[in-house]
Structure 1
């Protein structure tokens, strides 16, 4: 069956939007099984909470500053510009293929079944590890709020034996909770996520105001290369510091993962994909600038303490703990959003019979309208990844870092074939939605934007995977970890080859040349 996602003839709106959405999905070869109840804000919240700047900037500020000094700030707008090119491509294709399992579905329609399968496989593995990494961040926050959260031992340091064990315990509890929420249904998930996003937005605004009202230096600080800049090869240090922004600004396409549960997804998803990234970039950029302006010192102490060190000096103990509570909420919704996106991706691949135990993973509960088995499996897998931290926290930290490479490879599995299809005339028409309104399109700028997105993605994969001892093995205890990027890519590809459904005809084949 060849997909025909674009409607070239305007149709008057004579039926509820949900009916049109179900008809759209039917045109793409699928029945409406998931409950379609998400609106514009819930769609935006899915992408924003995946990025979760309050969580990630809180975690990675020291990484960027430690390598590039205050001038590392400029890596933020650079990465945003590159990711926005990707977001524009995603927005255009999301308008034409509003299907769960976005990366998988988009890449197979652009590049065929093999590329599509590996695009989905890369994204799924990355999301499992990323969800585990988000969950373990509770250990950095909760014991600082109240030592009663240090249930195992008395040393909350993540690299200590008791800290690592407690991190696994807290992270596992969080994963059980978010798994339960996902099993209850998308309505409850969206309610919890939306409330959490509001709390995070309030927290981000509060942090920005606190930092700017306690500034000790002007915005010109972003031109200071700092101590790293006094060493030979600052450009190299600047490139390494850009890993911070690269780690943060991913996951903005989650609105596409929930397309089958979103009302009017052809119009809503393209808009919320761009908005989730842009709001995150603006908020995160202001947090970075404010932190550099308000920091008590620009010495190595700031590289070690990061944003928590700045906020503690600005807010004091009480308000600092209040903010930590908000960061804990951000970690919670970030984990929830990642697990939700991953469960929809797994469901979409299983529905096409492309995974082991596909029948069970593709089953949708008739009452909740959600695929329960994928949520449970992902929760179990995430807890399994967490356990690695008990044995060696350095390995866990490295896995959490290099899994971002898989996300960028999954993005390339969409933008690369899309560029090739553009040279063949894709999209063949501008397309309209069910109400006769034009779909989002890059028009004559499509090839240029797409080409730049591919070049940016390829450069970022190289940058992220480059074997750097100072990033992946700073203690020098395990030299092999510096090669973690290439190793993880190779292992993921080999595992994918082993799991690839050979000899099984796709039940809903597509012809990329006609998509």
Structure 2
């Protein structure tokens, strides 16, 4: 294996995607997927309304847990810098069946996430101007705005990775500057001390376990934000020196998001005029920014949130496209040959871009009259992502316990390594991931059926939907697709000759 193939030869693939992305591009992909301004502005109201100011403590809690996962992923990114990172990592660590399920869950989750991120337009644009409230019903208007965003990101991703990277990097640069400025301006306008994060506002009153029950629900707001850092590695086949850049990008994206997001949330709680104002629980950070900074300055920052949402959706769809491409070239999806085709002009899989965009719009349209569309779609997508992460970290832990990880190093290569800390980090990452799946999927009325009509199947909606996706998907694979699995000839590094060709 040569150093220039960056690991593709070991997977048996030809280099088809164009290597154009540098260090900042890969970092930008990871941080735009996490997208602090998108996640915090989209979900602050949820955490605050259910846990009060003290829900802030879920932010460092989630960071520590996700850091354990990210450190394990950084090791994997150094050894296997290929498209569809979760799928290919699981394939190397486990077996083809586990890999397919990991890829399927991540692909489905990514498409659902495209839809959920697009819904964030509704939480911000109408607060900037009534012009963006095209219809009176918020859920219907959210679908209209979200569809417009998905059409844009689909067109950009179909055009090629260069255009995507330029827009994404520019958007991330603006987002980072805006986040720092927002922290400074909120800090200048603080009216109370940091002890505000100890206030629960009696949110635990309705829970049998008191505030712990309320906190676990409110913590979902932070759990919904800090994921997607693996995107930096999913672009490995289009990046220069991905063995070195991808691990750094994964960790830098998560750490930067934690620091900036944590300070924004803290100073927002300290700067809002009346911490007991009921509008905080409905208007979220958008209300606080306008309240603390005034209409003019606040509106400028809301526009930066719109930019952040746009590039976040761009990155999420980019990751979904590469996952679909990676599975398709192994003939692990229906119509694999078409889905794995790389456009010769744009050097990108165009058909996966169109398919992911259309499916995301369908998800929005199906939920057009559902007032709980925001939390339900977000929750379902993230549960599947955490499950996909577990299908990587668990096989990785098994390999460690058997003494089979890390794999032998290639001559002349330096790899990111956790060394003796690898085992405890991996164990904590697995325990954390399992706990979060349970907490995310737990059937709670306030999450999955907050308004009437109340039905058991709505409350259990996440468990039923995710279970159906896993069982039906894996059933299709087991009885139909697994018999066809194998790297497609057009994508194989060396196409073996048939007996007829050698005669």
Category of TM-score, reference length = shorter chain:
over 0.9
- Matches of 1:100 and 1:325, distance apart in 2: 32
Give distance in 2, aligned partners of 1:55 and 1:481.
Answer: 26
In 2, the alpha carbon distance for the partners of 1:289 and 1:324 equals 18
- Asked if structure 2 preserves the Cα contact closer than 8 Å seen for 1:45 and 1:193, the reply is yes
The 8 Å contact of residues 388 and 395 in structure 1, kept in 2 or not, is answered as no
1:470 matches 2:434: no
What corresponds to 1:4 in structure 2? none
Is 1:135–1:335's contact at 8 Å kept on the other side of the alignment? yes
Instruction: Tell me the CA shift for residue 411 of structure 1.
Output: 0.2
2:463 matched to 1:486? yes
- Structure 2: how far apart are the matches of 1:329 and 1:142? 11
Label 1:356 to 1:53 Cα distance change in 2 as closer, same or farther (>3 A): same
Q: Note the C-alpha offset of 1:395.
A: 4.6
Deviations 1:43-93 (A, max 9, x none): 001010011110110011121122222211111101000000000000001
| Residues 110-140 of structure 1: CA deviation (Å, up to 9, x unaligned) | 1101110010111111111111111122122
**387-396 vs 202-211, greater mean Cα deviation:** 387-396
State yes or no: 1:102 paired with 2:78: no
Choose from 302, 315, 333 the match for 2:311: 333
Q: Does 1:217 align with 2:199?
A: no
1:308 to 286, 292, 309: 286
Q: Is 1:184–2:162 an aligned residue pair?
A: no
Deviation at 1:23, TM superposition (A): 5.7
- Is the contact made by 1:49 and 1:330 (CA closer than 8 Å) also made in structure 2? yes
1:368 aligns with 2:343: no
Q: Which residue is equivalent to 1:461?
A: 437
Residue aligning to 2:498: none
Instruction: Give the gaps of 5 or more residues in structure 1.
Output: 1-6, 8-18, 509-515
The structural deviation recorded for 1:430 is 5.8
Residue number among 351, 360, 376 corresponding to 1:382 in the alignment: 360
Task: Quote the Cα distance in structure 2 between the aligned partners of 1:476 and 1:143.
Answer: 25
Q: Is contact 1:67–1:238 with CA below 8 Å preserved after alignment?
A: yes
Query: How much has 1:148 moved relative to structure 2?
Result: 2.7
Quote the residue 2:493 is aligned against. Answer: none
CA distance in 1, matches of 2:196, 2:350: 50
Q: Does 1:503 align with 2:480?
A: no
Kindly report which structure 2 residues correspond to 1:386-397, keeping only aligned pairs within 5 A, or say none.
386-395=364-373, 397=375
Quote the residue 2:326 is aligned against.
348
Map 1:236-247 → 2, pairs under 5 A: 236-247=213-224
Judge conservation of contact 1:356–1:499 (CA < 8 Å) in 2.
Answer: no
State how far apart, in whole Å, the 1-side matches of 2:205 and 2:115 are: 37
Deviation for aligned residue 1:231: 6.1
- Give the equivalent residue in structure 2 for 1:440: 416
TM-score (norm 1): 0.90
CA RMSD across the alignment: 1.7
Superposition pairs of residues 269-288 of structure 1, within 5 angstroms: 269-288=246-265
Post-superposition offset of 1:27: 2.6
Q: Residue 232 of structure 2: which of 210, 233, 255 is its match? A: 255
C-alpha distance in structure 2 between counterparts of 1:119 and 1:495, whole Å: 14
Q: Give CA-to-partner distance per residue, 1:263-292, whole Å, 9 cap, x none.
A: 001111011001111101111100110111
Deviation readout 1:225-272 (Å, 9 max, x if unpaired): 222256661111111111111001111110111010010011110110
Q: Residue 409 of structure 2 is aligned with which of 425, 428, 431?
A: 431
Deviations 1:175-212 (A, max 9, x none): 11111111111111100000000111111112211211
User: In the comparison of the two structures, how many residue pairs are matched?
Assistant: 481
Provide the secondary structure at the position in 2 that maps to 1:183: helix
- CA distance in 2 between counterparts of 1:71 and 1:443 reads 36
User: Is the CA contact 1:135–1:174 (under 8 Å) kept in the aligned structure 2?
Assistant: yes
Change (3 A) 1:189 1:241: same
Distance 1:23 1:502, change over 3 A: closer
